[in-house]
Amino acid sequence: MNSLTKIGSLIGLVLLLGLFLWKGTIDSIYLLIDSGWSLLLLPVIWFPSLLPATEGWRRLFGNHPPPGFYNAFIATWIGRAVNNLLPVASIGGEMIKARLLHQWGISGLDAIASVMVDKISQALALILWGMVGVGTLLMISTDTRLAYYATGGFAVLTVCVLTFAILQTKGFFGFMANLGGKFTSNQAWKEFSNNAGDIDARIREIYRSKGKLFSAILLRTFSLAIQTGEVWLACYLLNFPIGLVEAIMLKSLTSTLTEIAFIIPNGYGIQEGAFILVGAILGIPADIALVLSLAIRIKDFIFDPAGLIVLHQIEVKNLQKKNQLDSD
């Protein structure tokens, strides 16, 4: 997986560089600069979307007490930063989230089970949000080919996600533990095998709480919908204003295309290509679409490095505490 993510990172950077060379790096930078400091409003508009995402995750702890909102929020923020900046195929950040909660007093079994089901809720929310985009596309454009292709893609993605969810309820961790145990005698793997059955039980417990699971998916979908404001404002600040329906369609389809390419950290190159492709339907020139994608990445340059810095500080403090206990 690590090799695949490195390859994905390389592909994304090459694609991003190619788009820049195609449309002109200097012109794109000038357009961003001309927009001024007002673009810093975009992270402010985006930030509230973390709140329902955090609460959605807190709903997925079955019958066990969820973490406090503040701790879950910090873990969500750091997990996002890890997924966006490091080649971890959007999985490493989830493991970091579980690890942080365990350090803050949540059972490791509950933490791992919750992030695994939360990944499913994120995927289902993305599909729902993508179908909203297809609906708005049909309202805006008479060319239905993209809508048909997108619907077919979402149908395949839905089958894949639901299949994995079913596997989770059928003892996926136990199966993987038994399979891996045939090829290794590693002590860490043995510890995982000992806990795999308990993790499966916690996952099944979460899925039985259908009301909480449904509300988690809706909260995740609402989180994605809030991000529409970022795209609408970015278009306005770049002197290419669009309506709310157009903004929903643009944000929905571009974010879905970007997230599907999860092997590429933060969808570098993929997001830019998606904006150019979908933006063309709205008559947005390719150079404007490229700058629009870069503008909504401003939040990544602000929040994601800060998230990794906070994670480093947390790890340093934990190491200091461990060393202190060992010395005592």
State the pLDDT confidence band at 39, using cuts at 50, 70 and 90.
confident
| pLDDT over 70 percentage in the chain | 80
Q: Is the pLDDT of residue 193 over 70?
A: no
Q: Which residues contact 162 (CB under 8 A, 6 or more apart)?
A: none
Question: CA–CA separation, 210 vs 257, rounded Å?
Answer: 28
CB 98 within 8 A of CB 111: yes
The predicted model gives 123-135 an average pLDDT of 93
pLDDT of residue 221: 96
Percentage of the chain beyond pLDDT 90 is 45
End-to-end CA distance of the chain: 40
Query: CA separation (Å) from 5 to 2, 87, 113, 267, 287?
Result: 5, 5, 24, 11, 28
pLDDT at 223 over 70: yes
This prediction has a pTM of 0.85
pLDDT in tens, 81-126: 998 888 776 788 899 999 999 999 999 899 999 999 999 999 999 9
Domain tally for the chain?
1
- Which stretch of 15-24, 74-83, 191-200 has the lowest confidence by average pLDDT? 15-24
Which segments of 48-107 does DSSP mark as H helices, in order? 50-58, 69-85, 92-103
Task: Give yes or no for a contact between 304 and 294, defined as CB atoms under 8 angstroms apart.
Answer: no
291: its two tokens: 């700058």
Q: Is the pLDDT of residue 1 over 50?
A: no
3-state class (DSSP) for residue 32 = helix
SS3 assignment, position 275: helix
Q: Which pair of structure tokens corresponds to residue 262? A: 């999860």
Domain that holds residue 176: 2-327
**177-181, 221-225, 284-288: least confident range:** 177-181
Mean pLDDT along residues 249-275? 79
